[in-house]
Amino acid sequence: MILSPRYSGPTVVTIEGDPGDVAVPLVRQRLRLAELAATFTEAEWSAPSRCSQWSVRDVIAHIAGINPLYVMSAVAGLAGEPTRLMPHFDPAVSPLRMVEQVAALSSAQVLDLLVSSNAELIASAEALDGSGWCTSAESPLGEVPIRLVMSHALWDSWVHERDIVIPLGMTPTVVADEVVASLRYVAALTQGFAFGAGMECRGRFGIDATDPDFHCVMTVDDAVSVRVERPGDDIPVLRGPAVQLTEALSTRLPLPADAPPEWRRLLAGLEYTWDLASR
């Protein structure tokens, strides 16, 4: 499905928190992934990932290939001229085509591409001040604060790191601030994408996660707003371990058996955007 990002009207997603709180987890996760990739044997580079059409090399190539878009978005936003690339982006097709463009690269070349593009992304993030993190730039959702552009970069790479290491029989690294940033972002992303598909579920929805502990209330009306507060019993609350919930909302695992039906409908926006229902 071609994205329908929002460039005018209310900002499609806002998430309560310190403007620069994604900087440290973003940098840590990117450096860790590059260090891990540098240890892979050729057999591990060629091994299948959790992404059905991609090998480990393909997943790394995807991350490296998408990094310049985050940097371009931040630079253009800071210059007061946000990019307008996402209306031509299909999450179900475009990433596959981007990976195909670098299919001829060796594993060593893909690793070099990851390291160099990570360095540019990290430099872009580390150069931001409080005002910069709040500046509007383009994301797959439309114009949002650069903090959410970088949140998308963190969440996407965090999930893909697990897409690689779990099939390889490795134990994924779990760091609380990476999990929390990814969980709160993907929860909002489900409804941000749903607006473009006309599938939004309006109302108030809660998350009560453990290990690490995190709770929030997401309000969906003309936009999506996530506030860090403990949800009450009067709204549908998604409960469970934070890593499991993040994986479920990222469509890697089923939602918990006791997930409220309202949360199952919420997830339909992300599944539709990625055309998962037809796969």
CATH of the domain at 224: 3.30.1050
Give the pLDDT of residue 91.
65
Give the pLDDT of residue 278.
36
Chosen domain end from 140, 175, 210: 175
- Flag whether pLDDT at 136 surpasses 70: yes
Tell me whether residue 8 is in a domain.
no
Tell me whether residue 152 is in a domain.
yes
Give the pLDDT of residue 232.
96
Tell me whether residue 262 is in a domain.
yes
Task: Kindly state whether residues 197 and 260 are assigned to the same domain.
Answer: yes
Distance CA 178, CA 24 (A): 9
Chosen domain end from 130, 151, 175: 175
pLDDT mean over 176-197: 89
Task: Kindly state whether residues 27 and 164 are assigned to the same domain.
Answer: yes
Tell me whether residue 3 is in a domain.
no
Task: Kindly state whether residues 80 and 121 are assigned to the same domain.
Answer: yes
pLDDT tens, residue by residue, 166-180: 999 999 999 999 999
Task: Kindly state whether residues 35 and 143 are assigned to the same domain.
Answer: yes
pLDDT mean over 216-241: 96
Give the pLDDT of residue 265.
85
Give the pLDDT of residue 127.
97
Task: Report the 3 state secondary structure along the chain.
Answer: CCCCCECCCCCCEEECCCCCCCHHHHHHHHHHHHHHHCCCCHHHHHCECCCCCCEHHHHHHHHHHHHHHHHHHHHHHHCCCCCCCHHHCCCCCHHHHHHHCCCCCCHHHHHHHHHHHHHHHHHHHHCCCHHHHHCEEEECCEEEEHHHHHHHHHHHHHHHHHHHHCCCCCCCCCCHHHHHHHHHHHHHHHHHHHHHHCCCCCEEEEEEEECCCEEEEEEECCCEEEECCCCCCCCCEEEEEHHHHHHHHCCCCCCCCCCCHHHHHHHHHHHHHCCHHHC
pLDDT tens, residue by residue, 12-47: 999 999 999 999 999 999 999 999 999 999 999 999
Task: Kindly state whether residues 105 and 222 are assigned to the same domain.
Answer: no
Task: Kindly state whether residues 191 and 259 are assigned to the same domain.
Answer: yes
pLDDT mean over 262-273: 77
Task: Kindly state whether residues 72 and 169 are assigned to the same domain.
Answer: yes
Average pLDDT of the chain to the nearest whole number: 91
Tell me whether residue 105 is in a domain.
yes
Task: Kindly state whether residues 60 and 112 are assigned to the same domain.
Answer: yes
Task: Kindly state whether residues 162 and 217 are assigned to the same domain.
Answer: no
Give the pLDDT of residue 54.
93
Distance CA 157, CA 89 (A): 18
pLDDT mean over 140-148: 95
User: What is the share, in percent, of the chain residues with pLDDT greater than 90?
Assistant: 77
Task: Kindly state whether residues 169 and 183 are assigned to the same domain.
Answer: no
Give the pLDDT of residue 23.
98
- Flag whether pLDDT at 277 surpasses 80: no
Tell me whether residue 64 is in a domain.
yes
- Flag whether pLDDT at 279 surpasses 50: no
Distance CA 155, CA 27 (A): 12
Chosen domain end from 175, 194, 228: 175
The number of domains in the chain is 2
Distance CA 231, CA 211 (A): 17
Task: Kindly state whether residues 160 and 232 are assigned to the same domain.
Answer: no
- Confidence band (pLDDT; 50, 70, 90) for 275? low
| CATH code of 43's domain | 1.20.120.450
Task: Kindly state whether residues 42 and 170 are assigned to the same domain.
Answer: yes
- Domain region containing 87: 19-175
pLDDT tens, residue by residue, 63-122: 999 999 999 999 999 999 999 988 776 766 667 677 777 778 899 999 999 999 999 999
- Flag whether pLDDT at 185 surpasses 70: yes
